[in-house]
């Protein structure tokens, strides 16, 4: 019972093995992730009895700044530098040139109505999570002079537009697995921090 409401208490999930990809590690297993690639990885590291981590680079102990370490080595049991470390992008999504005129296709008209309606919920200075799919496009209709801080639940606050072709970064994607950019003042964090923002009432939409 919390604040007069009943809840079901469940045990935390624990796996025999956790398999994680990180950006860089030292030989003690201290880990660093890049940008939105952190997502649920820190939580997964802590949930497995044996944690196996593949990294792009392994450096000597002392070469990582302690302030920059996202997961301490105590959670890492096996460390691998793969011979062929791949970074796959499921949905390469690029910034499109602005269309002129109004849509004429019925599906396009309906789509634009939904997007414009979602955009009417924006207020200056608010924090908003647009989920995935069509609502994400509402960010294109933020009025000039209005500041809206967009959050993506995989660990981005300060979401920007889709990137140009030369800006695509496999470590910078949104919750819909699309490539994105960030705006000045953005920050990256883990998915559990992201949901703490949402459940704590810090995100208005």
d(CA 89, CA 177): 8
Please report which helix (H) or strand (E) contains residue 197, including its range: helix 191-199
3-state secondary structure of 173: strand
Of 57, 67, 112, 153, catalytic = 153
Q: How far apart are CA 18 and CA 29, in angstroms?
A: 14
Helix intervals (H) in 29-105: 41-47
Is 67 a known active-site residue? no
Give 58's contacts (C-beta < 8 A, 6+ positions apart): 24, 25, 26, 27, 79, 81
Q: How many CB atoms lie within 10 A of CB 46?
A: 15
In whole angstroms, what is the distance from residue 182 CA to residue 123 CA? 20
CA angle 45, 128, 141 (to 5 degrees): 130
Can you say how many angstroms the Cα of residue 165 is from the centroid of all Cα atoms in its chain? 20
- Catalytic residues, by residue number, are 153
């Amino acid at each position: 019972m919390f604040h007069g409401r009943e809840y079901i208490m469940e045990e935390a999930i624990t796996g025999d093995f956790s398999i994680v990809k990180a950006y860089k590690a030292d030989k003690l297993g201290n880990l660093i992730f890049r940008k939105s690639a952190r997502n649920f990885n820190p939580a997964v590291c802590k949930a497995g009895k044996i944690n196996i981590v593949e990294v792009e680079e392994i450096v000597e102990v002392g070469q990582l700044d302690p302030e920059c370490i996202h997961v301490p080595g105590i959670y890492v049991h096996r460390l691998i530098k793969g011979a062929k470390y791949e970074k796959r992008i499921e949905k390469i999504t690029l910034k499109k040139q602005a269309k002129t005129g109004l849509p004429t296709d019925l599906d396009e008209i309906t789509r634009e109505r939904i997007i414009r309606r979602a955009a009417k919920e924006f207020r200056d200075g608010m924090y908003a999570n647009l989920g995935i799919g069509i609502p994400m496009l509402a960010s294109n209709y933020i009025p000039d002079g209005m500041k809206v801080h967009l959050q993506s639940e995989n660990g981005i606050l300060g979401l920007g537009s889709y990137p140009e072709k030369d800006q695509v970064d496999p470590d910078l994607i949104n919750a819909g697995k699309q490539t994105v950019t960030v705006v000045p003042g953005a920050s990256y964090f883990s998915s559990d921090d992201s949901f703490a923002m949402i459940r704590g009432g810090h995100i208005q939409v």
